[in-house]
Amino acid sequence: MTNLAQTPLSDRLRSLVDTVQHNERTLRRFQNVELRLIGAQDFASFLDTLFRHLPQEFSLASVTLWLDDRAPMLLELLEPVALRALDHPGLKTSREGGLAAQGLCDDGLPWLGKPCELDDFARRAFFGAAQPPASAILLPLAAGDTVSGCLCLGSDDPARFGDGMATDILERFASIVTASLDNVAHRERLKQLGMTDSLTGLANRRYFDERLREELMRAVRYRVPVACLFIDIDSFKRINDTYGHQTGDRALAAVAACVRQQVRLGDTVARYGGEEFAALLQGDRADALTVAERVRLAVERLDLQDDHGQRIALTVSIGVAASRVGGTASDAVSFGRAMLEEADRAMYQAKRNGRNRIEALVKTGGDHAEHGVLPVGQRDFPLID
Name the residues annotated as catalytic: 275
Q: For the range 171-174, what are the long-range contacts, defined as Cβ-Cβ under 8 Å and sequence gap of 24 or more?
A: 171/110, 171/139, 173/30, 173/33, 173/34, 173/139, 174/110, 174/139, 174/140, 174/141
**Do 179 and 46 touch, CB atoms closer than 8 A?**
no
From the list 91, 95, 83, the residue with the least C-alpha distance to 49 is 91
Beta-strand ranges (E) seen in 34-88 are 62-67
From the list 126, 169, 131, 153, the residue with the least C-alpha distance to 60 is 153
Beta-strand ranges (E) seen in 176-293 are 225-233, 268-273, 276-282
Burial 323-346 (b: 16+ CB within 10 A, else e): bebeeeeeebeebbeebbebbbbb
Q: For the range 305-310, what are the long-range contacts, defined as Cβ-Cβ under 8 Å and sequence gap of 24 or more?
A: 306/243, 306/247, 307/243, 307/247
**Do 377 and 296 touch, CB atoms closer than 8 A?**
no
